[in-house]
């Protein structure tokens, strides 16, 4: 068998199963009852909320919340308690550096050459000077990080987000981001590289560490929301969408010129160049 | 009803504004941006001083309440968060709701900042958005990654008030509004139920 066509590692097979389970659940989904048509404001609210699968979504929210309470949150707390802040920052940077191939691919699919350049420079600088990505030197050198995933790429292509989804294990999403999640796994070279126990173990470690790292970074914020929100599910729904819109807005507004500063600059339309 | 002279003055002022050369208008916008930035800086410094200062939790809460009263348009934000239900609420419900909303806001801000001895913030740039100024800051809390927080300031020139706080792209008032809207949708749009729930929330937060 040629090396290129190796089967994906077991981790992606698990995700495949998760995705199938999710789709199955969706096909059994109960639908939210729309408000009576004689209350136009309530109907407008219902449409704006765009959560037709709300009853099913709430079930998955409850399940995820239970899993989080007994597994992920304690793990994140232990991680914060045991590992010093500077080390956690380093681990976060390494994980983020491992994500650069997917990021670069999405930057290019989004047609953002400056973002792709930033990502490339970040990978080159941080993998070497930054010691395998532990230190984010590139940020200091003028290559700041940005968000890029295939959900955002689809958004930049004009694909609408669709109704709100709360997926088992994965949490808040929508059809666009759920597809994006799958495509990002396929785009990730680490999905396709290598076989054997060591690779599998590394893949799982990366996955587990990413989950704990991501959870630790929002420990205080999530506790806060669960404590103060009257309807945490609705609050997370709103927060998720607002956050995604902000990321997509930042992507759309990033229209920096593609000529690097050190290159002889072209005369602008009103310029006084030669 | 407007007086004739007032109308004339207004018209003259409007004409003067339209006739203002571009540079002057840019300078005007710049000035309101500077004022908003200075306002956020002053408010932030006051908040940080209280949070990092000595004093018990109760004392800090009292001082934070005072600062919030001075700098945040609490009633305006409260009305916004109730959305369309504000109009259907009785005057009595509106009054009780606003009083509770005040406490909810203070509790929420106190618990967001109060526990963080060593909180720091840096003021960045400002930009105009409709009639409001948006001032960007970076808030650093111990144990947490730095957060980009934008402050939306209404009337930056005359009486600056904070009308919204946007953390990492998520607006405080929009989030609160959707929370209340969803609660009301599941409680047959009963504002009294919302008021009771808020009451319990404030009581349990102590």
Contact A136, A170 (CB under 8 A): no
Taking CB atoms and an 8 Å limit, are A239 and B170 in contact across chains?
yes
Q: A97 in a domain, yes or no?
A: yes
Q: Structure pTM?
A: 0.81
Nearest CA in chain B to A34: B185
Question: What is the reported pLDDT for A77?
Answer: 95
Taking CB atoms and an 8 Å limit, are A220 and B169 in contact across chains?
no
Q: What's the domain range around A66?
A: 13-30+51-253
Q: A42 in a domain, yes or no?
A: no
Residue B193: CB atoms within 10 Å:
15
What residues of B are in contact with residue A238 (Cβ under 8 Å)?
170, 174-175, 178-179
How far is Cα B155 from Cα A20, in angstroms, rounded to an integer? 53
User: Chain A within 8 Å of B9 (Cβ-Cβ)?
Assistant: no
Taking CB atoms and an 8 Å limit, are B181 and A234 in contact across chains?
yes
pLDDT tens for chain B, 206 residues long, are 446 666 656 565 555 555 555 556 566 667 778 888 999 999 988 888 888 888 887 888 888 889 998 999 999 999 999 988 999 899 999 999 999 999 888 888 777 776 677 888 899 888 888 888 999 999 888 877 888 899 999 988 888 999 999 988 899 999 999 999 999 989 988 999 999 999 998 888 75
Taking CB atoms and an 8 Å limit, are A220 and B179 in contact across chains?
no
How close does chain B come to A198, measured CA to CA in Å?
Answer: 32
Q: Between β-strands B147-154 and B161-167, what pairing exists: parallel, antiparallel or unpaired?
A: antiparallel
Nearest CA in chain A to B182: A234
Residue A274: which residues within 8 A CB-CB, separation 6 or more? A267
Q: Of B37, B194, B7, B15, give the one whose Cα is nearest residue B104.
A: B194
Taking CB atoms and an 8 Å limit, are A238 and B179 in contact across chains?
yes
User: Chain B within 8 Å of A77 (Cβ-Cβ)?
Assistant: no
Which chain B residues in 83-142 lie under 8 Å from chain A, judged by CB atoms? 84, 104, 107-108, 111-112, 141
Partner residue opposite B183 with nearest CB, options A92, A230, A239 = A230
Residue A148: CB atoms within 10 Å:
28
How close does chain A come to B89, measured CA to CA in Å?
Answer: 15
Q: Which of B178, B183, B205 to mutate to test the interface with A (most CBs of A within 10 A)?
A: B178
Partner residue opposite A231 with nearest CB, options B170, B179, B205 = B179
Taking CB atoms and an 8 Å limit, are B178 and A237 in contact across chains?
yes
How far is Cα A256 from Cα A16, in angstroms, rounded to an integer? 38
Q: Which residues partner with B136 through β-bridges?
A: B150
How far is Cα B139 from Cα B48, in angstroms, rounded to an integer? 10
Domain count, chain A: 1
Question: What is the reported pLDDT for A134?
Answer: 95
- Burial-class residue B175 by CB neighbours within 10 Å (0-12, 13-18, 19+): buried
What structural domains and CATH numbers belong to chain B?
4-205 (3.10.450.710)
Q: A268 in a domain, yes or no?
A: no
Q: A86 in a domain, yes or no?
A: yes
Q: Of B164, B185, B113, B151, give the one whose Cα is nearest residue A33.
A: B185
Taking CB atoms and an 8 Å limit, are A238 and B178 in contact across chains?
yes
Half-sphere exposure of A7 (CA within 13 A, CB side): 6
pLDDT tens for chain A, 274 residues long, are 344 444 445 555 555 565 555 555 555 556 777 777 777 778 888 888 899 999 999 999 999 999 999 999 999 999 999 999 999 999 999 999 999 999 999 999 999 999 999 999 999 999 999 999 999 999 999 999 999 999 999 999 999 999 999 998 889 999 999 999 999 999 998 888 877 888 888 888 999 999 999 999 999 889 888 888 999 999 999 999 999 999 999 999 998 877 767 777 665 444 343 3
Taking CB atoms and an 8 Å limit, are B170 and A246 in contact across chains?
yes
Per residue in B160-185, pLDDT (tens digit) is: 999 999 988 899 999 999 999 999 98
Q: A122 in a domain, yes or no?
A: yes
Q: A38 in a domain, yes or no?
A: no
Residue A104: which residues within 8 A CB-CB, separation 6 or more? A116, A119, A120, A123
Q: Is this complex's ipTM strictly greater than 0.85?
A: no
Element (H, E) at A248: helix A232-253
Q: A39 in a domain, yes or no?
A: no
Question: What is the reported pLDDT for A225?
Answer: 87
Contact B126, B136 (CB under 8 A): yes
DSSP chain A: --GGGPPPPHHHHHHHHHHHHHHHHHHT---PPPPPTT-HHHHHHHHHHT-TTHHHHHHHHHHHHHHIIIIIHHHHHHHHHHS-HHHHHHHHHHHHHHTHHHHHHHHHHTT-HHHHHHHHHHHHHHHHTTTTTTS-HHHHTT-------HHHHHHHTT----S-EEETTTEEE-HHHHHHHHHHHHH-HHHHS--SHHHHHHHHHHHHHHHHHHHHHTHHHHHHHHHH-SSHHHHHHHHHHHHHHHHHHHHHH----SS-TTSPPPP-TT----
Partner residue opposite A231 with nearest CB, options B141, B143, B183 = B183
Q: Which residues partner with B139 through β-bridges?
A: B121, B147
How far is Cα A67 from Cα A49, in angstroms, rounded to an integer? 26
Taking CB atoms and an 8 Å limit, are B205 and A85 in contact across chains?
no
What residues of B are in contact with residue A42 (Cβ under 8 Å)?
185, 189
Taking CB atoms and an 8 Å limit, are A243 and B189 in contact across chains?
no
| Long-range CB contact pairs, B64-71, < 8 A, 24+ | B64/B106, B64/B109, B64/B110, B64/B113, B64/B114, B65/B106, B67/B43, B68/B105, B68/B106, B68/B109, B71/B39, B71/B43, B71/B160, B71/B161, B71/B162
Q: A265 in a domain, yes or no?
A: no
């Amino acid at each position: 068998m040629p090396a290129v066509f190796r089967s994906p590692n077991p981790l992606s097979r698990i995700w495949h199963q998760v995705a199938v389970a999710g789709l199955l659940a969706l096909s059994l989904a109960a639908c939210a009852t729309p408000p009576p048509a004689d209350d136009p404001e309530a109907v407008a609210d219902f449409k704006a909320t765009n959560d037709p699968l709300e009853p099913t979504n709430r079930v998955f929210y409850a399940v995820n919340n239970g899993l989080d309470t007994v597994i992920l949150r304690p793990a994140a707390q232990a991680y914060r308690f045991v590992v010093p802040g500077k080390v956690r920052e380093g681990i976060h940077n390494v994980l983020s550096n491992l994500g650069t191939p997917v990021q670069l691919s999405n930057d290019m699919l989004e047609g953002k050459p400056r973002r792709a350049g930033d990502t490339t420079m970040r990978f080159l600088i941080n993998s070497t000077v930054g010691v395998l990505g532990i230190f984010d030197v590139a940020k200091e050198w003028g290559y700041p990080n940005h968000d890029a995933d295939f959900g955002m790429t689809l958004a930049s292509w004009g694909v609408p987000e669709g109704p709100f989804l709360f997926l088992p294990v994965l949490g808040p999403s929508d059809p666009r981001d759920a597809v994006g999640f799958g495509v990002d796994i396929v785009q990730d070279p680490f999905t396709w590289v290598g076989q054997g126990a060591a690779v599998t173990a590394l893949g799982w470690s990366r996955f587990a560490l990413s989950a704990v790292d991501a959870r630790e970074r929002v420990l205080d914020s999530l506790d806060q929301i669960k404590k103060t929100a009257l309807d945490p599910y609705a609050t997370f729904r709103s927060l998720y969408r607002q956050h995604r819109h902000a990321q997509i807005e930042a992507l759309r507004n990033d229209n920096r010129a593609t000529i690097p500063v050190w290159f002889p600059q072209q005369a602008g339309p009103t310029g006084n160049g030669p | 009803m407007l007086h004739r002279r007032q109308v004339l003055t207004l018209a003259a002022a409007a004409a003067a504004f339209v006739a203002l050369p571009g540079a002057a208008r840019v300078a005007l916008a710049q000035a309101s941006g500077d004022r908003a930035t200075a306002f956020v800086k002053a408010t932030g410094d006051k908040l940080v001083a209280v949070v990092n200062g000595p004093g018990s939790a109760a004392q800090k809460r009292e001082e934070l309440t005072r600062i919030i009263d001075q700098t945040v348009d609490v009633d305006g934000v409260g009305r916004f968060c109730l959305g369309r239900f504000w109009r259907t609420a009785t005057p009595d419900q509106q009054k009780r709701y606003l009083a509770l909303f005040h406490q909810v806001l203070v509790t929420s801000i106190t618990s967001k900042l109060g526990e963080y001895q060593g909180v720091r913030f840096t003021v960045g740039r400002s930009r105009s958005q409709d009639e409001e100024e948006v001032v960007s800051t970076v808030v650093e809390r111990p144990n947490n990654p730095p957060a980009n927080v934008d402050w939306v300031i209404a009337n930056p020139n005359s009486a600056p008030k904070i009308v919204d706080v946007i953390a990492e792209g998520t607006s405080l008032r929009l989030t609160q509004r959707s929370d209340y809207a969803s609660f009301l949708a599941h409680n047959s749009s009963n504002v009294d139920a919302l008021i009771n729930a808020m009451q319990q929330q404030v009581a349990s937060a102590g």
